[in-house]
Structure 1
Amino acid sequence: MSRIGRRPVDIPANIKVEIKDSEISVEGAKGRLKKVIHPHIKAQVQDNRIIVTRASDLKQDKSLHGLTRNIISNMIKGVNEGFTKELEIRGVGFRAQVSGKTLNLQLGFSHPIAFAVPEDISVQVPKPTQIIVKGIDKEKVGSIAAKIRSFYKPEPYKGKGIRYKDEYVRHKVGKAVA
């Protein structure tokens, strides 16, 4: 990951970055993000670029170097453009709807599932079988999408369940009838 860590992160004109000790704060059109970086990794702003450096050449520090650089890059992209994950629901009678900050899912169970959406994440349901998760924090958007998917993972026989839009589910052949 050290090759990734060596590349500087460009700061767009409309983004404001502050670095205090080991805390990085990024503010843009969509909001504000703060992260604390590992003490062995240092970041500094030079000529509208963020340069990430590491304390030593230990294997752990090298991997943290690239990781930190990508986290900072994702923070800048998040406050500038935002992140999106799309989910599809497949199955007879399976559907979703949003009411306020609650996502209601009907997935063939005896009860509907009510999922409380965090404040900084927005969930849209353009069609009853499509869910769009949006936010400025890539990690949070991904974890919320994974949590929604975990309510009914796609099964390999009929393909029923919640899947990512571009996810391929390998189908298995059922039992042979005698």
Structure 2
Amino acid sequence: MSRVGKNPVTIPQGVTVDVAGGVATVKGKLGTLKLPITKEVDVSVEDGKVWVKPVADTTPSRVLWGTTRANLRNMVEGVSKGYSKNLEINGVGYRAAVQGKNLQLQMGYSHDVSYPIPEGITIKCEKPTAITISGFDKQKVGQVAAEIRAVRPPEPYKGKGIKYDTETILRKEGKKK
């Protein structure tokens, strides 16, 4: 039994979930998301809740049971509340700024790095050393945050680079004389 899959997803007010033609469509105030449903699970909407059940007692059905339910929950929460990730920039001369539809990063390279902001994602720089990425698709928000972090990942000696605000950099000890 899947502990995640057996719980229903509660649909908040202002969100609609439609399951038709093997695709679940979730619409809310922030946007619309679609999830293809495999034939291994059965998805139904009853009394303001989304139920996911395995079709058979096989390993693929049990694996996809909890995964499908978790994806649907993320979609419902995304179109109603949205998701955000915060990044911090550490290092002398390192900074970020939003210019039009691009994020300009000055990360100590011989050139500025220009990151195009994808559709459905909002990037804000309250300070030159803080980046906030927000959107209604959890996967896309996480992917954009990971791509921006990959421009200059934090190095373990002084912690210079781009890191998540919740991330802790373990410092390595240098060679002692």
CA contact (8 A) 1:25 1:35 kept: yes
Which whole-Å deviations, capped at 9, do the CAs of 1:14-61 have from their partners, x for residues lacking one?
Answer: 111111032011111111111112221121001111000112222232
Q: Between the two proteins, what is the percent identity of the paired residues?
A: 44
Does residue 36 of structure 2 align to residue 36 of structure 1? yes
Q: Normalising to structure 1: TM-score of the pair? A: 0.96
CA contact (8 A) 1:26 1:33 kept: yes
Matched residue, 1:156: 156
Q: How many residues in Structure 1 have an aligned counterpart in Structure 2?
A: 177
Matches within 5 A, 1:1-178: 2-177=2-177
The code of the aligned residue for 1:173 comes to: E
5+ residue gaps, structure 1: none
5+ residue gaps, structure 2: none
> Aligned equivalents of 2:96 and 2:136: distance in 1?
23
| Corresponding residue SS for 1:139 | helix
Between 1:101-110 and 1:38-47, the stretch displaced more is 38-47
> Aligned equivalents of 1:72 and 1:158: distance in 2?
41
CA contact (8 A) 2:5 2:65 kept: yes
Q: What RMSD over aligned residues (CA atoms) do the two structures have, in Å?
A: 1.1
CA contact (8 A) 1:22 1:42 kept: no
| Corresponding residue SS for 1:126 | strand
CA contact (8 A) 2:149 2:163 kept: yes
Deviating 4+ runs (over 6 angstroms): none
| Corresponding residue SS for 1:6 | coil
The code of the aligned residue for 1:5 comes to: G
